[in-house]
């Protein structure tokens, strides 16, 4: 495509842009996902693009402490957790193309400039970078053959970083026309003073900020603790020049999954359908409602400890948290997740002091030595005390090391990631991989085939012999130790198609001891929980019932 040119999709795709004002963390992602859910329930075909105005190419190199979890897609894309929410709410597989960052947009333009594609012209933010952004969004919509393409703009309107994106969207609006594109602005309505008055000024200012860049919101989604007062709603409509019916109240919900239902009640989707002249086919939120009812009023309770490193930041394990919500709902069970710092377990004289009251233990993915010994201690505790256990990625690797140490008697068995000079590198880089590459894009990433041993526990859980799950790792079980480990009772019941890479392990004489090299949490969906999470919750429930038979 030449400079300045752009391809208009044949079918008029409608665009819904979601921006955020006043402050970050207002739940733009949940708003976007919820609107999408309502439109999907009306039979419309969706695409979604998340704009991240940071300069990183993707989230792959970002520290979970700072940024929350890195979500991994089927195609190996490492993205922001908002794409995880799109997948969970919309049950729509996303790919790298569904995310655009400042880094990606500039890189595409700079690469083209180096190739000489601009024929000696001065390359500028406008039009070259803005065209790239616009084309990226249109390509994503076209690839999905979407009726509606959702575009979520990360950051807050008024940030310098998001300016080129907003300009690109302004141009797209002009190009596709007003009836094909609308803007939803999420904002905060704080409560002040003794009388608890809902204040509209921050929203007014934030809408003014949008107008400054040539955008006009069609709908306001107002976050507040309680529902918007009708008078406040009217005032917002009037001062922000938005239809009163399109001033939406988004009070605190009991669960994020309830938000689509709260928006539906207020006619959000009907308003959008009219505004964009969409042609929906029916609507069905029945199964979703059943799921939400189970999440908010469960009969049973279990407590599961997640022994990790980023335990101060629940966002760092967001997909794990959500996978527990899905698995719990399917079993009418509330999963109380206790976030446990692996270093506390390491320091404890007896791990039982910290882990003793748990109904299950999960050791999640991780990188580097900090806390690794605590995780190994937690795995040993779960194995020996027969507490249901699930290991994921690093948790799978450390379960192998733990078994090698305490059952095979290889005292310093370890991953070479943790101890490069161990006598027994049971987890190692396979030939062709070097430790230098361990950071960044050279990991084994994305979905690939896993074959499950016939009749194994994991094959029963998946009701399948072949599965596709997502990976994000570099180290592998060292093939030199497999027959010894299996000889001592550990069973590798999932392998890659070549049979060389170990993917899942289980212990037969244990209520539930399962681990996987892949991350099952990324493919867990509200109505289709990850099988190994379901297995853990079920085993934890049995343990509770065995302890308190009358419950
Ligand atoms: N650090 C380990 C590896 O790179 C595990 C990665 C993970 O848990 N995501 O292989």
- The dihedral of CA 220, 225, 227, 230: what is its sign? negative
Residue nearest to atom 7 of ligand 1 (CA): 365
What mean pLDDT do residues 362-389 have? 96
Q: Identify the CA nearest to 340 among candidates 268, 294, 395.
A: 395
CB 255 within 8 A of CB 322: no
State whether the beta carbon of 394 lies less than 6 angstroms from ligand 1: yes
Average pLDDT over all residues of the chain: 92
> Three-state SS across 387-451?
CCEEEECHHHHHHHHHHHHHCCCCCCCEECCCCCCCCCEEEECCCCCCHHHHCCCCCEEEEEEEE
Supply the pLDDT for residue 3: 54
How many C-beta neighbours within 10 Å does residue 518 have? 29
Angstrom distance (rounded) from CA 280 to CA 263: 17
470 lines ligand 1 (CB under 6 A): no
Looking at residue 200, the DSSP 8-state letter turns out to be -
Question: 158, 215 in Cβ contact below 8 A?
Answer: no
- Is residue 475 pLDDT above 90, yes or no? yes
Distance 350 CA to ligand 1 centre (A): 27
Q: Using a pLDDT cut of 70, give the percent of the chain over it.
A: 95
> Which of 473, 515, 522 to probe ligand 1 with, by most ligand atoms within 8 A of CB?
473
Q: Tell me if residue 191 falls in helix, strand or coil.
A: strand
Indicate the pLDDT class of residue 432, thresholds 50, 70 and 90. Answer: low
Query: What is the value of pTM for the model shown?
Result: 0.91
- Range from 278-287, 320-329, 427-436 carrying the lowest mean pLDDT: 427-436
Q: How confident is the model at residue 22 (pLDDT cuts 50, 70, 90)?
A: confident
In this structure, are residues 133 and 104 in contact, taking their beta carbons and an 8 Å threshold? no
Residue range(s) occupied by CATH 3.40.50.300 in the chain: 14-289
Mean pLDDT of 182-204: 91
Give every CB contact of residue 253 below 8 A, 6+ residues apart in sequence. Answer: 259, 262
Sign for the pseudo-dihedral over CA of 82, 206, 272, 277: negative
Contact by Cβ (8 Å): 355, 378: yes
Share of the chain above pLDDT 90, in %: 83
Rounded to whole angstroms, the Cα distance separating 337 from 320 reads 10
- What pLDDT band is residue 64 in, cutting at 50, 70 and 90? low
Which has more pLDDT, 438 or 77? 77
pLDDT of residue 189: 94
Residue 250: how many other CB atoms lie within 10 Å: 26
Instruction: Give pLDDT tens digits for 97-146.
Output: 999 999 999 999 999 999 999 998 999 999 999 999 999 999 999 999 99
The pLDDT confidence band at residue 393, using thresholds 50, 70 and 90, is very high
Asked if residues 220 and 236 have their Cβ atoms less than 8 Å apart, the reply is yes
Distance 472 CA to ligand 1 centre (A): 7
> Could you tell me where in the chain the CATH 3.40.50.880 domains are found?
298-545
Contact 221, 184 (CB under 8 A): yes
CA-proximal residue: ligand 1, atom 5 (nearest): 394
pLDDT given for residue 437 in this prediction = 47
Per-residue pLDDT for 6 more than 70?
no
Which of the two residues, 432 and 154, has the higher pLDDT score?
A: 154
Superfamily in which the 14-289 domain is placed by CATH: P-loop containing nucleotide triphosphate hydrolases (3.40.50.300)
CB 494 within 8 A of CB 513: no
Q: What's the CA gap between 145 and 47, in Å, rounded?
A: 8
Predicted pLDDT at 440: 45
CA of 78 to the centre of ligand 1 (A): 14
Q: Which residues contact 63 (CB under 8 A, 6 or more apart)?
A: none
Question: Average pLDDT for residues 353-358, to the nearest whole number?
Answer: 95
Tell me how far the alpha carbon of residue 323 lies from the centroid of ligand 1, in angstroms: 19
Tell me what pLDDT residue 266 has.
95
Whole-number pLDDT of residue 9: 46
Q: What is the pLDDT of residue 36?
A: 97
**Annotated catalytic residue, options 185, 393, 424, 506:** 393
Q: Is 519 a catalytic residue?
A: yes
Average pLDDT over residues 445-451: 96
pLDDT for residue 65: 67
Specify whether the CB–CB gap between 504 and 458 falls below 8 A.
yes
**pLDDT number for residue 279:** 92
Q: Does residue 176 carry a pLDDT above 80?
A: yes
Confidence of residue 551 (pLDDT cuts 50, 70, 90): very low
- b (16+ CB within 10 A) / e for 336-355: ebebbbbbebbebeebeebb
Give the position, in ligand 1's atom list, of the atom nearest the Cα of 367.
1
What's the 497 CA to ligand 1 centre distance in angstroms? 20
Alpha-carbon Rg for the chain, nearest whole angstrom, is 25
- Residue 468 has phi, psi (to 5 degrees) of -125, 120
Tokens found for residue 226: 């309680």
Q: Is 257 helix (H, G, I), strand (E, B) or coil?
A: helix
Q: Taking residues 476-480, what's their average pLDDT? A: 96
pLDDT at residue 272 above 80?
yes
393: left (phi over 0), alpha (psi -120 to 50) or beta: left
Binned at pLDDT 50, 70 and 90, residue 7 comes out as low
User: What is the model's pLDDT at position 441?
Assistant: 42
Long-range contacts of 77-80 (CB under 8 A, 24+ apart): 77/446, 78/445, 78/472, 79/50, 80/50, 80/52, 80/154
427 prior amide bond cis, ω within 30: no
CATH number for 298-545 (one of 1.20.120.1200, 3.40.50.880, 1.10.3210.10, 3.40.50.20): it is 3.40.50.880
Ligand 1 pocket, residue 472 CB under 6 Å:
yes
* 416 touches ligand 1 (CB under 6 Å): no
């Amino acid at each position: 495509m030449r400079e300045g040119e752009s391809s208009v999709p044949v079918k008029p795709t409608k665009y819904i842009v979601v921006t955020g004002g006043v402050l970050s963390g207002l739940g733009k992602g949940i708003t976007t996902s919820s609107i999408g859910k309502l439109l999907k329930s009306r039979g419309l075909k969706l695409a979604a693009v998340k704009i991240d105005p940071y300069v990183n190419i993707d989230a792959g190199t970002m520290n979970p402490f700072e940024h929350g979890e890195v979500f991994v897609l089927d195609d190996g894309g490492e993205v922001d957790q908002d794409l995880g929410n799109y997948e969970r709410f919309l049950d729509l597989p996303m790919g790298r193309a569904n995310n655009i960052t400042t880094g990606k947009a500039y890189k595409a333009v700079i690469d083209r400039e180096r190739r000489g594609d601009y024929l000696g012209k001065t390359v500028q933010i406008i039009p070259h970078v803005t065209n790239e952004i616009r084309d990226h969004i249109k390509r994503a919509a076209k690839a999905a053959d979407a009726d509606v393409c959702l575009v979520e703009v990360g950051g807050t309107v008024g940030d310098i970083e998001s300016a080129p994106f907003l300009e690109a969207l302004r141009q797209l609006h002009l190009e596709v026309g007003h009836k094909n594109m609308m803007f939803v602005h999420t904002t905060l309505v704080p409560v002040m003073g003794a009388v608890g008055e809902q204040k509209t000024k921050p929203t007014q200012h934030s809408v003014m900020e949008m107008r400054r860049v040539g955008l006009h919101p069609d709908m306001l989604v107002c976050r507040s603790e309680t529902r918007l007062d009708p008078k406040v709603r009217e005032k917002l409509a009037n001062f922000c020049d938005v239809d009163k019916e399109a001033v939406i109240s988004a009070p605190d919900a009991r669960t994020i999954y309830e938000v689509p239902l709260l928006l539906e009640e207020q006619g959000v989707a009907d308003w959008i359908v009219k505004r964009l002249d969409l042609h929906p086919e029916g609507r069905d939120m029945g199964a979703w409602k059943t799921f939400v009812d189970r999440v908010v009023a469960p009969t049973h309770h279990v407590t599961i400890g997640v022994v990790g490193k980023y335990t101060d930041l629940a966002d760092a394990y967001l997909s794990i948290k959500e996978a527990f919500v899905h698995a719990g709902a399917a079993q009418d069970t509330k999963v109380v997740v206790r976030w446990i710092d692996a270093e506390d377990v390491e320091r404890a004289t007896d791990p039982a002091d910290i882990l003793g009251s748990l109904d299950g233990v999960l050791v999640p993915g991780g990188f580097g030595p900090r806390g690794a010994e605590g995780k190994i201690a937690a795995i040993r505790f779960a194995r020996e005390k027969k507490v249901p256990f699930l290991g994921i990625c690093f948790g799978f690797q450390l379960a192998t090391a733990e078994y090698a140490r305490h059952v095979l008697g290889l005292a310093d068995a370890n991953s070479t990631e943790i101890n490069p000079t161990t006598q027994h590198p049971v987890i190692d880089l396979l030939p062709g991989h070097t430790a230098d590459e361990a950071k960044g894009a050279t990991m084994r990433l994305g979905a690939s085939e896993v074959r499950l041993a016939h009749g194994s526990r994991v094959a029963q859980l998946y009701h399948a012999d072949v599965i596709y799950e997502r990976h994000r790792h570099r180290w592998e079980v060292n093939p030199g130790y497999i027959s010894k480990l299996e000889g001592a009772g550990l069973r590798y019941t999932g392998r890659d198609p070549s049979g060389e890479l170990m993917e899942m392990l289980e212990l037969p004489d244990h209520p539930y001891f399962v681990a996987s090299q892949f991350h099952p949490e990324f493919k867990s969906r509200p109505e289709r929980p990850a099988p190994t999470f379901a297995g853990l919750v079920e085993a934890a429930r049995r343990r509770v019932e065995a302890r308190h038979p009358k419950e």
